[in-house]
Structure 1
Amino acid sequence: MDAKREYLRHVDGLRALAVLIVIFFHFGISGFSGGYVGVDIFFVISGFLITRILIAEIETTGSFSFLNFYKRRIRRLFPALIFILSLSTLAALIIFAPENLVQHGGALASAALSVSNILFWFESGYFDSAAHLKPLLHTWSLSVEEQFYLVWPAFLLLLRNRLNIAIGITLVALISFYLNFHYVKTAEPGFADTLFFWAPFRGFEFAIGAACVLLEKRLELSQFVRNVFAVIGLGLISYSVVTLTDTSVFPYLNALPPCIGTALIILSGGSMASKIIFENKLAVAIGLLSYSLYLAHWPIYSFTRYVLTDVSSFTVISAMLVASFLLALISFFAVERPFRFASSGWQKRWVYPGSLAGLLLLCIFGLTLKFSDGWPWRFSSAPLTASQIEEGKSKRFIDLHSGCNLLVLENTERCHMERPIQILLFGNSHEPDGYNIFNYLYGANAKVNIISFGTVNDCNFIINEQGLSSPVKALDCQRRFETLNNPEFISKLTHVVYSNHTGFEYVARDLWAALAHIQQRNSALKLIVLGSYLETSLGCATIRNKEGSFDACKKPEYINYFKTDERDQSIVPEVKTLEYLYISKFDLLCPDGKLESCLTFANGEPMFYDEHHLSYGFAQYLAKLIASEYQQPLVQLGLPKPLSSE
Structure 2
Amino acid sequence: MQPRIAGARAASDSPPAHREDIDWLRAIAVLSVVAFHFEAPAIFGGFVGVDIFFVISGYLITGIIASEMAQARFSFAQFYERRVRRLLPALYVMVAFAAIPASQDMLSSERVEFFRSAAAVVTFTSNIFFWLQSGYFDHAAVEKPLLHTWSLAVEEQFYLVLPVVVWAVLRLARGRRLALPLTLALLAAGSFVLGLMLMRGNASASAFFLSPPRAWEFLLGSLVAVSGLPALRPGLAQRLARALSLLLMAIPILSLRAGPGFPGVNALAPCLGAALFLWSGVGVANVPRSRLSPLNVAAFFGGISYSLYLWHWPLFAFARFAKPGLALEGWERAALFALTVAVATLSWRFVEQPFRTRQLAPTPRAAFGLAALASLLLLVGSGVGLLRAGSASDDDRAAQRYDAYNSYDMKPVYRYGTCFTTPDGRVPAECLRPVTGKTNVLLWGDSFAAHYYHGLAAHLDPRTVNIMQASQPTCMPTFSAETQGVASCRAFASQMRDYFAQARPDLVVMSADWLENARPPRFPGMLRDLRQTIGRLQDAGIPVVLLGPSVQFRARLPSMLARATLRGVTPDGATFVRSDIFALDAAMQAALPTGEGLSYVSILSIVCENGRCPLTAGDVPLSFDHAHLTAEGSDAVMARVAPLLQPDNTELGSRQQADDGSHQTGGEGARDD
| TM-score, normalization by structure 1 | 0.75
* 1:600 and 2:609 aligned: no
Q: Distance in 2 between matches of 1:603 and 1:174?
A: 55
Which residue of 144, 157, 165 corresponds with 2:154? 144
| Structure 2 counterpart of 1:547, from 537, 548, 564 | 564
- Counterpart in the other structure of 1:389: 405
Q: 1:295 to 1:627 in 2, by over 3 A?
A: closer
SS in structure 1 at match of 2:83:
helix
Specify the alignment match of 1:46 in structure 2: 57
Residues 623 and 630 in structure 2, CA contact (< 8 A), matched pair in contact too: yes
2:514 corresponds to which letter in structure 1? T
Q: Quick check: 1:329 aligned with 2:335?
A: no
Match of 2:635 among 578, 602, 620: 620
- Decide whether aligned partners of structure 1 residues 116 and 483 sit closer, same or farther in structure 2, where only a CA change above 3 A counts: farther
| Matches of 2:615 and 2:126, distance apart in 1 | 35
- State the match for 2:165 in structure 1: 155
User: Which piece of structure 1 moves more, 579-588 or 160-169?
Assistant: 579-588
Contact 2:444 / 2:511 at 8 angstroms: preserved in 1? Answer: yes
The equivalences for 1:96-175 within 5 A come to: 96-97=106-107, 101=111, 104=114, 107-117=117-127, 130-160=140-170, 161=175, 162-175=177-190
Q: CA, structure 1 residues 76+570, in 2 after alignment: closer, same or farther (shift >3 Å)?
A: same
Amino acid corresponding to residue 560 of structure 2 in structure 1: I
Distance of 1:221 and 1:61 partners within structure 2: 29
* Alignment partners' CA distance in 2, 1:636 and 1:30: 38
C-alpha deviation, 1:333, in angstroms: 1.7
Q: Does 1:559 align with 2:570?
A: no
How far residue 303 of structure 1 moved from its aligned partner, in angstroms, is 2.2
Whether the 8 Å contact between 2:126 and 2:149 is mirrored in structure 1 is yes
How far apart, in 1, do the equivalents of 2:33 and 2:589 lie? 36
**Given the alignment, which residue of 432, 451, 474 partners 1:433?**
451
Amino acid at match of 1:52: G
Deviations 1:204-262 (A, max 9, x none): 4433433444468x85887x56x985896488337734773252663213432233113
| Residue matched to 2:4 | none
Q: 2:369 aligns with which of 335, 350, 357?
A: 350
Amino acid at match of 1:46: S
The code of the aligned residue for 2:60 comes to: L
The answer on whether the counterparts of 2:438 and 2:463 sit within 8 Å (CA) in structure 1 is no
Deviations 1:85-108 (A, max 9, x none): 232233233223456556645644
Instruction: Measure how far apart 1:55 and its partner are.
Output: 1.9
Contact 2:238 2:280 in 1 (8 A): yes
Aligned-pair Cα RMSD in Å: 5.0
Question: Secondary structure of the residue that 2:466 maps to in structure 1?
Answer: strand
1:582 to partner: Cα distance: 4.4
For 1:349-498, what aligned pairs fall within 5 Å after superposition?
Answer: 350-358=369-377, 360-361=379-380, 376-377=392-393, 379=395, 382-385=398-401, 388-390=404-406, 393-394=408-409, 397-398=412-413, 400=415, 417-442=435-460, 445-455=462-472, 457-458=474-475, 462-463=479-480, 472=487, 477=492, 481=496, 484-485=499-500, 487=502, 490-491=503-504, 493-498=505-510
- Given that 1:13 and 1:280 are in contact with CA atoms closer than 8 Å, whether structure 2 keeps it comes out as no
- SS of match in other structure, 1:613: coil
1:590 aligns with 2:608: yes
Equivalent pairs counted in the alignment come to 609
The alpha-carbon distance between structure 1 residues 361 and 519, as it changes in their structure 2 partners (threshold 3 A), is farther
Q: Which string of whole-angstrom CA distances, capped at 9 and with x for unpartnered residues, describes residues 177-213 of structure 1? A: 6667x579x978675x676555455544433433444
Q: Which amino acid aligns with 1:383?
A: A
Q: CA deviation at 1:149?
A: 1.0
Distance 2:253 2:414 in 1: 42
Deviation at 1:439, TM superposition (A): 0.7
- Counterpart position of 1:642: none
**Residues 44 and 428 (structure 1), Cα distance of their counterparts in 2 relative to 1, 3 Å cut:** closer
The question of 1:535 aligning with 2:546 is answered no
1:8 aligns with 2:23: no
Larger displacement relative to structure 2 (342-351 or 400-409)? 400-409
CA contact (8 A) 1:10 1:269 kept: no
1:558 Cα deviation after fit: 4.7
Query: Which whole-Å CA distance do the structure 1 matches of 2:116 and 2:532 have between them?
Result: 42
Name the SS for the 1:535 alignment partner: coil
Moved more, 503-512 or 468-477: 468-477
Structure 1 position 540, deviation (Å) = 1.6
Max radius of gyration: which structure? 1
Report the equivalent of 1:262: 278
Unpaired runs of at least 5, structure 2 = 1-12, 258-264, 421-425, 653-673
Q: Distance in 2 between matches of 1:480 and 1:55?
A: 53
Gaps of 5+ in 1: 638-646
Q: Hey, what does 1:301 align to over in structure 2? A: 316
State which of 56, 59, 68 in structure 1 corresponds to 2:67.
Answer: 56
Q: Aligned partners of 1:234, 1:321: CA distance in 2, in Å?
A: 30
Residue 497 of structure 1 and its aligned partner are, at CA, apart by 2.6
Code of the aligned partner of 2:435: M
SS in 2 for 1:498: strand
In 1, Cα distance between the equivalents of 2:232 and 2:61? 23
- Counting aligned pairs with the same residue, the percent is 23
Deviates more, 1:425-434 or 1:577-586: 577-586
Q: Tell me the equivalent position of 2:218.
A: 206
Q: Deviations over 1:141-183 (max 9, x none)?
A: 3223122212211211221144311322333455556667x57
Which piece of structure 1 moves more, 334-343 or 249-258? 334-343
Q: How far does the alpha carbon of each residue in 1:475-505 deviate from its partner, in whole angstroms, 9 at most, with x for none? A: 9848964872572xx24x3333333353896
Q: Give the letter aligned to residue 601 of structure 1.
A: T
Tell me, in whole angstroms, the C-alpha distance in 2 between the residues paired with 1:285 and 1:636: 61
Instruction: Tell me the equivalent position of 1:643.
Output: none
Tell me the equivalent position of 2:95: 85
Alignment-mate amino acid for residue 353 of structure 1: A
- AA at the equivalent of 2:510: Y
Aligned mates of 2:245, 2:414 — CA distance in 1: 53
Label 1:260 to 1:9 Cα distance change in 2 as closer, same or farther (>3 A): closer
- CA distance change for structure 1 residues 605 and 440 in 2, over 3 Å: closer, same or farther? same
Report how far residue 440 of structure 1 moved: 0.7
Q: Structure 1 589/469 Cα, relative in aligned 2: closer, same or farther at 3 Å?
A: closer
- CA 1:164–1:273: 2 relative to 1, 3 Å: farther
2-structure distance, mates of 1:288, 1:486: 60
Query: Are the equivalent residues in 2 in contact too, given 1:16–1:290 (CA < 8 A)?
Result: yes
Aligned partner of 2:253 in structure 1 is 244
8 Å Cα contact 2:403/2:559 also seen in 1:
no
* Partner SS for 2:440: strand
- Residue 382 of structure 1 and its aligned partner are, at CA, apart by 1.4
Q: Structure 2: how far apart are the matches of 1:26 and 1:141?
A: 15
CA distance in 2, matches of 1:66, 1:590: 64
